[in-house]
Amino acid sequence: MHVKLSELAARFGLRLVGEDREIRGVNTLDNAGPDELSFLANPKYAPALATTRAGAVIVPERHAGDVATALVSDNPYLCLARIATLFAPPQGTQEQGVSPLAFVHEAATVDPAAIVYPFVYVGPRSRVAAGARLFPHVYVGEDCEVGQNATLYPGVTLMSGVRLGRGVICHPGCVLGSDGFGYAQGPEGLVKVPQIGPVVVGDGVEIGANSAVDRGSLGTTEIRSGAKVDNLCQVAHNVRIGEHSILVAQVGVSGSTTIGRGVILAGQAGVVGHLSIGDGAMVGAQAGVGQDLPPGARVSGSPAYEHGLFLRNSVLLPKLPELFKRVKELEKELFELRKQGTNDDDA
């Protein structure tokens, strides 16, 4: 595919500076060639503008004069995401329809405009909508719903009762609807609590590779529209994740916790159960949250506390050995002064 810069400028509301030319792809500042488009989103990479071979660069206004040809944007990274979609080759080659090597139960419904690859299993009473793509070794249990234009990559498992909205993307190996971790202590030991609630996933949600979303114990586990879950995340039973929230890699959310709208849980953050995380909150990497967070809170550390204080403490922490040494020296000096004062009084 190739497209002119002037066409991109018109389509995405950008200002073209310099010569109009055709672009055939996108790449980094270091690796882009004369027929590729690059971008500058982080100011620390600005020196690379002087040496890049890119045919054009998406830049903020203050860097519009630093390259011969530029597309000027208020948000270069967002602009790149939209343009890169034009050059992203689709995965998979099968045309619409169900492969003869797939198994679709006679009580299931698959739209003729869906794509079902070899070795897919679709269970009884499940429905697969138009435009959905089910790659090899996908398992769709009974009573599931796969929404329009959803994509289930190889090895995705939907246990019974999982409902996916439109445009959902499930990456390889993720599991939705596995049993939540629920046990009651009895005289004979641990007794399993049946997990009979569904998993409901809204429109445009993306779930990363090898992540697990447990079914509700009695109620529902819900991921609302626009939320994004990275690889290797654990979402426990009856968790509710609000619209456009982000769970970065290896995040764990314990049961019955409610995550608000637009929340960011950074990598390896952990949230204990039965909490409420307010809209727009930010939890830093590896933080451990053990109490409710109000809307807009910013916390880090384990246990988690105010992010700004955490940063200040992080600066001081490496200095503790030297501070401890200085305190011991001051204690020694103070002891000597007190000892001398006592001797003077005795005299």
Q: What is the pLDDT of residues 329-346, one digit of tens each?
A: 999 889 888 878 776 666
Structure tokens at 20: 């109009």
Do the domains spanning 3-87 and 97-308 agree at the CATH topology level? no
Q: What is the pLDDT of residue 343?
A: 66
Taking the mean position of all CA atoms in its chain, how far away is CA 86? 22
CATH superfamily of 3-87: MurE/MurF, N-terminal domain (3.40.1390.10)
Q: What is the pLDDT of residues 284-312, one digit of tens each?
A: 999 999 999 999 999 999 999 899 999 89
Contact, 111 vs 132, CB < 8 A? Answer: yes
Instruction: Provide the pairing of β-strand 175-178 with 157-158.
Output: parallel
Contact, 233 vs 251, CB < 8 A? Answer: yes
Q: Amino acid identity of 32?
A: A
Q: Which of 171, 237, 244, 307 is catalytic?
A: 237
Q: Amino acid identity of 41?
A: A
Coil vs helix vs strand at 292: coil
The arrangement of strands across the sheet holding 15-17 comes to: 15-17, 70-72, 56-59, 36-39, 25-26
Q: How far does the chain reach from its first CA to its final CA, in angstroms?
A: 98
- Domain parsing of the chain, residue ranges: 3-87, 97-308
Count of other CB atoms within 10 angstroms of residue 285:
14
Gap between the Cα atoms of 235 and 176, Å rounded:
9
Gap between the Cα atoms of 29 and 37, Å rounded:
9
Gap between the Cα atoms of 199 and 140, Å rounded:
13
Gap between the Cα atoms of 225 and 232, Å rounded:
20
Gap between the Cα atoms of 29 and 121, Å rounded:
44
pLDDT confidence tier of residue 95, bands split at 50, 70 and 90: confident
- pTM of the predicted protein model: 0.87
| Burial zone of 288 (CB within 10 Å; 0-12 exposed, 13-18 middle, 19+ buried) | middle
Taking the mean position of all CA atoms in its chain, how far away is CA 133? 22
Strand partners, 190: 185
CATH superfamily of 97-308: Hexapeptide repeat proteins (2.160.10.10)
Coil vs helix vs strand at 337: helix
Contact, 71 vs 56, CB < 8 A? Answer: yes
Q: What is the pLDDT of residues 26-67, one digit of tens each?
A: 999 999 999 999 999 999 999 999 999 999 999 999 999 999
Q: What is the pLDDT of residues 140-181, one digit of tens each?
A: 999 999 999 999 999 999 999 999 999 999 999 999 999 999
Q: What is the pLDDT of residues 125-150, one digit of tens each?
A: 999 999 999 999 999 999 999 999 99
pLDDT confidence tier of residue 347, bands split at 50, 70 and 90: low
Residue 237 designated active-site: yes
